[in-house]
Structure 1
C-alpha cells in the first residue's frame, strides 16, 4: 500500500531522488561537511513542509531522497536548497574550501539531477490507462 498524503483538495505521494554535484566536480566534501549538509537540508525541508527521507554523499556529490508536497515549485525548492546550503557551507568551512575554489563564492554546480521515485512502473500505468472503459 502506498503512503498517500492529503491536502485540502488532493491526495499525493511525491518522492524524488535529487543529486547535487560540486562545482567542477571538485572532491571537497568531507565527513564534517556531509553532517552539516544533512542538518541544513533537514531544517530547510521542515520550512518547506517536506521530508528528507534519506541523505548521503561522496567527495564530489550528494544524494537525497525527498518527499515533497504538490504546493512546491520543484525548481524553486532546489534552488533554495543549493543557495542556502552553499552559503552555510562556504561560511562554516571557508578554510577547507579555499583550497578548492580559491576564495570564490562557489560550492554547487549550476546543474542537478532530479528523478521521480516510487509507484508502479510506467508500463503498468500505461496498460492501466489503456484498459479503461470508454464513455460513449
Structure 2
C-alpha cells in the first residue's frame, strides 16, 4: 500500500501497475541485460521523480508498480521508461538488434 502524501492544498496516493513485454516475446531479458534493465529503470524513474515500488524483470511480461505525483501523466511516464530504456539497451547490447529487428524493444500490454 502506498503512503498518503501531502502537497500544497491536496492529499494524494497515486500508484500505477504497468505491464509490458518484449516485442515478439523473445527471451532476451537474461543475465547482464536483466541486471542493466533494472538499473536503467530505477535511474530513469529517479530522474523523473517517480518511485518504482516493485519490479519483476526476470519474467515475461514485465510488471512494474510505480508511485508518482499528480503532476505526472501516465503517458509521459511510460514514454520515459520504455523509450529511454530501449535506446540505452540497444546501445549497450548490440546483439539485441539482431533478435529485435525494426528498432522496437517493448509493447505495452496493460495499465
Task: Provide TM-score, normalisation by structure 2.
Answer: 0.86
Q: Which moved more, 1:55-64 or 1:20-29?
A: 55-64
1:113 aligns to 2:110 (yes or no): yes
Residue 65 and residue 2 in structure 1: after superposition, are their counterparts in 2 closer, same or farther (change >3 A)? closer
Structure 2 residues not aligned, in runs of 5+: none
Q: CA deviation at 1:21?
A: 0.9
Partners of 1:91 and 1:61 in 2: how far apart?
22
**Structure with larger Rg:** 1
Instruction: Look up the match of 1:55.
Output: 55
Aligned residues: 111
Q: 1:14 to 1:24 in 2, by over 3 A?
A: same
For 1:76, the equivalent position in structure 2 comes to 76
Partner-residue secondary structure (3-state), 1:88:
helix
Gaps of 5+ in 1: 115-136
Q: State whether residues 28 and 60 of structure 1, in contact with CA within 8 Å, keep that contact through their aligned partners in structure 2.
A: no
Paired with 1:37 and 1:89, the residues of 2 have a C-alpha distance of 7
1:41 paired with 2:38, answer: no
TM-score under structure 1 length normalisation: 0.72
CA apart distance, 1:86 = 0.3
Could you list the structure 1 runs, at least 4 aligned residues long, displaced by more than 4 angstroms after superposition.
Answer: none
In 1, distance between residues paired with 2:46 and 2:73? 16
Q: Distance in 2 between matches of 1:16 and 1:43?
A: 18
Cα distance, 1:2 vs structure 2: 6.2
RMSD: 1.9
